[in-house]
Amino acid sequence: LAKTTQPISMDSYEGQEVNITCSHNNIATNDYITWYQQFPSQGPRFIIQGYKTKVTNEVASLFIPADRKSSTLSLPRVSLSDTAVYYCLGFQRNQGGKLIFGQGTELSVKP
Amino acid sequence: DGGITQSPKYLFRKEGQNVTLSCEQNLNHDAMYWYRQDPGQGLRLIYYSQIVNDFQKGDIAEGYSVSREKKESFPLTVTSAQKNPTAFYLCASSIGQGFKDYGYTFGSGTRLTVV
């Protein structure tokens, strides 16, 4: 499973775009890059998943360059409620893949 | 609504006691997982089960036991052999092996405190 590296923490202000970059140099060919969001005392929640190029949903965008050694989660116009820990993981879709969580990035959004 | 239910939300245990954490899902998912989270840390995998009547150890299985007698249920027992059981425990499920699986659905967690 891919080992991922993310910044420990980030600060932002309401209304700004936030980009969280994740490094995954040894990602496997069949790994999908998956991001989760976790609020205090709650279980993580799936945000977005992609294999390469760009994926966008109602919550975020995910940019994955051609070499797939990194990925960037983009949160447009964050609000105070986006304050959470964000995890980047490699996930093997068709193999009942185990999710291995790193420490994640603690995002703090200020007024 | 489909989802995962963990109970209780808070649990207190005396040293030397075994306690069982409940996890039930009505998503018809084949695979279920137990994670432990300590303050300021990521999640660590305790046990997982890909199918009924079968389960595998994760990275920190010592001091824990599980059973998977029904598809919808995956209880976790924290035994007295677990030296530092105070933590936040999370249960998750996924569609399972061989399916186009986007990821896990997590429960809301059980906070266990040893008193």
Tell me if A98 and B58 make a contact (CB, 8 A cut-off).
Answer: yes
Q: Which residues of A touch B27 (CB under 8 A)?
A: none
Give CA separation, A18 vs A1, A14, A30, A76, B94, in Å. 27, 10, 28, 7, 29
Q: What is the reported pLDDT for A100?
A: 78
Q: Find out whether the peptide bond into B39 is cis, omega within 30 degrees of 0.
A: no
Instruction: Provide the 3-class DSSP secondary structure of residue B16.
Output: coil
Interface residue of B27, B37, B94, B104 to substitute, partner A, most A CBs within 10 Å: B104
Give the tens place of pLDDT for each residue, A59-76: 999 999 999 999 999 999
Question: How far is residue B10 CA from its own chain's centroid?
Answer: 14
Angle B57-B99-A37 (CA atoms, 0-180°, nearest 5)?
A: 70
Q: Which residues of B touch A98 (CB under 8 A)?
A: 33, 45, 48, 58
Residue A51 backbone class (left: φ over 0; alpha: ψ -120 to 50; beta: rest) = alpha
Over range A35-53, report the average pLDDT: 92
Question: Nearest CA of chain B to the CA of A105: how many Å?
Answer: 10
Determine the pLDDT at residue B104.
Answer: 86
pLDDT for the residue A95: 59
Alpha-carbon A24 to chain mean position = 12
How far does A89 lie from chain B, in Å, by closest CA? 10
Average pLDDT rounded to a whole number, residues A90-104: 73
A 27-56 near B (Cβ less than 8 A): 34, 36, 41-46, 49
Tens digits of residue pLDDT in B11-53: 999 988 999 999 999 999 999 999 999 988 889 999 999 899 9
Q: How many CB pairs under 8 A join A and B?
A: 69
Poorest-confidence range of A63-72, B62-71, B102-111? Answer: B102-111
- A49: Cβ–Cβ under 8 A, 6 or more apart, which residues? A32, A33, A34, A35, A55, A62, A91, B102, B103
Residues 54-73 of A with CB under 8 A from B: none
Whether the pLDDT of residue A1 is over 60: the answer is no
- Give CA–CA dist A38/B53, Å, rounded: 30
Per-residue pLDDT band at A91 (split at 50, 70, 90): confident
Residue A3, chain B, CB below 8 Å: the answer is no
Contact B35 A101 (CB under 8 A): yes
Distances (CA, A) of A107 to A74, A85, B53, B75: 12, 6, 40, 33
Distance of CA A10 to the CA centre of its chain: 13
Which carries the bigger pLDDT value, residue B71 or residue B99? B71
pLDDT classification of A9: cutoffs 50, 70, 90: very high
